[in-house]
Structure 1
Amino acid sequence: MRLFEAIVDANQRASKGDASAGVHVSEYAGSLPVVVLTCIDPRLNSLLPGVLGVPTEQFIWLRNAGNIITSSLSSTTRSLALACAVEGGREIAIIGHTDCKVCHTSVGEIVDRFRALGVQRERLPDNLVEYFGLFASERQNVIKAVDLVRNSPLIGAKIPVHGLLLDTVTGKLECLVNGYQTLSAPLSASPAAHVNVNGPSLTKVAQVSSTEGEEVSSAAPNPTTAPPSPPPLLPRRAIRQRAPWER
């Protein structure tokens, strides 16, 4: 059992009342430290990193509103990459949470709240959904973020990228994406199809190709074909003889 599989297993056993449930981090030294992206919600302050069973000195914590990844080369993706390259992070986990305010705030409410802060609508970007990365499902937001990070050229192919959802009331973790199972998967041209499963193992991710490959054929040159004849030489222009009166 690998690190995040052990974390999920211990978390689920603890949620069922197993007082002995826990993670012996000394057994997973090769997977530490971990790099975790979460939301800015203050309710997470008392839950992490304790709910993972990882000591604070092995926990690199990145946060933004809604734990949103907008692209494979975004500033947050860059921070995740530097956390691995500079701080030595061995595994990445994107952890969403239930009852996310970013998820449950409409565009109209955002406009009203900015207006209350003195920021009028005309000063905001035209497409607020795209700019703020608004989403309708906490689970799908995590899955999308994992897919973008996994396919980023900044993230090493040997670094697992996991996706989990944390219940802010019970502290229970729900497994969405198993980063170990996507290590050898090719970069996807379209978002991956994720199948949620119950139990201690993390969710399997099935890469789906958006289009069928097309066979392209090209005729090879015939080595026996004689090369084309060079163009005929143009006749040399006759040299004009000067007349006697021009001498």
Structure 2
Amino acid sequence: MTTLAQIVQANREFVKEFAGQHLYETGHAISKFPNRHLAIFTCMDTRLVDFLEPAMGIKRGEVKIIKNAGNTITDPFASSIRSLLVAIFELGVKEIMVIGHLDCGMSHSNAEDLTKKMLMRGISADAIKMVEEELKIWLDHFHDPVENVKATVYKIRSNPLIPKDVPVHGLIFNPDNGVIEIIEDGYQLIERCS
């Protein structure tokens, strides 16, 4: 059975529970507005799925979660920043947490190796040339998850489109035991900048 078929089968079993009822009738409906007014920008690592949120005491409907490889921002108007802008200005987010994690695969990646793998899979050299510099900026500067969190907090905090009254915190998560440590306290950052 293909992965797609497995997902569709699991979905059919899941929705049988509601037997045609609207989610509002079952008590499972959740607002699109995060009731904790919090956005989390984190990594797409599989070890964080169903682990990071419970480790933080977060439930469905409480936060906006934005993910990408290595929770990195390479451009002041990248999609992650655009998502944060929508979260702040349209969905009521008042606080941001950047959460990196130990043993991040991005710290072992580099542009040269990724380029070789892309070429081996049939991606044309001309197509790669279009993103070559971006790959170097993105992959070749990520060596330490803690330093990456600090850099990402700085990029969000200093972005002219992010309101100065929005605290941007930096945390590091251990995917082996669920421990979270504070790297940057956004409240203190606001005080220092005021």
Q: TM tier, shorter chain?
A: 0.7 to 0.9
The C-alpha deviation readout for 1:181-219, integer Å capped at 9, x for no partner, is: 0113339xxxxxxxxxxxxxxxxxxxxxxxxxxxxxxxx
Larger Rg: 1
Tell me which of 102, 114, 136 is aligned to 1:98: 102
Residue 117 of structure 2 corresponds to residue 110 of structure 1: no
Tell me which of 106, 111, 132 is aligned to 1:126: 132
Matches within 5 A, 1:46-61: 46-61=50-65
Mapped contact 1:36–1:92 kept (Cα < 8 A): yes
Q: Share of identical aligned residues, percent?
A: 30
What amino acid is the match of 2:48?
A: L
Q: Tell me the equivalent position of 1:166.
A: 173
What amino acid is the match of 2:184?
A: V
**Larger helix proportion, structure 1 or 2?**
2
Distance in 1 between residues matched to 2:67 and 2:191, nearest whole Å: 28
Give the ranges of 4+ consecutive aligned residues of structure 1 lying more than 3 Å apart after TM superposition: 131-134, 184-187
Q: Tell me the equivalent position of 2:188.
A: 181
What amino acid is the match of 1:115?
A: L
Residue 47 and residue 155 in structure 1: after superposition, are their counterparts in 2 closer, same or farther (change >3 A)?
same
Mapped contact 1:72–1:151 kept (Cα < 8 A): no
Distance in 1 between residues matched to 2:84 and 2:143, nearest whole Å: 24
Query: What is the aligned-residue RMSD (CA, Å)?
Result: 2.0
TM-score (structure 2 length as normaliser): 0.73
Q: Tell me the equivalent position of 2:77.
A: 73
The C-alpha deviation readout for 1:201-241, integer Å capped at 9, x for no partner, is: xxxxxxxxxxxxxxxxxxxxxxxxxxxxxxxxxxxxxxxxx
The alignment of Structure 1 onto Structure 2 pairs a total of residues equal to 157
User: Which secondary structure does the structure 2 equivalent of 1:176 belong to?
Assistant: strand
Unaligned runs of 5+ in 1: 1-30, 188-247
Unaligned runs of 5+ in 2: 1-34
Distance in 1 between residues matched to 2:186 and 2:146, nearest whole Å: 15
1:123 is displaced (CA, Å) by 2.5
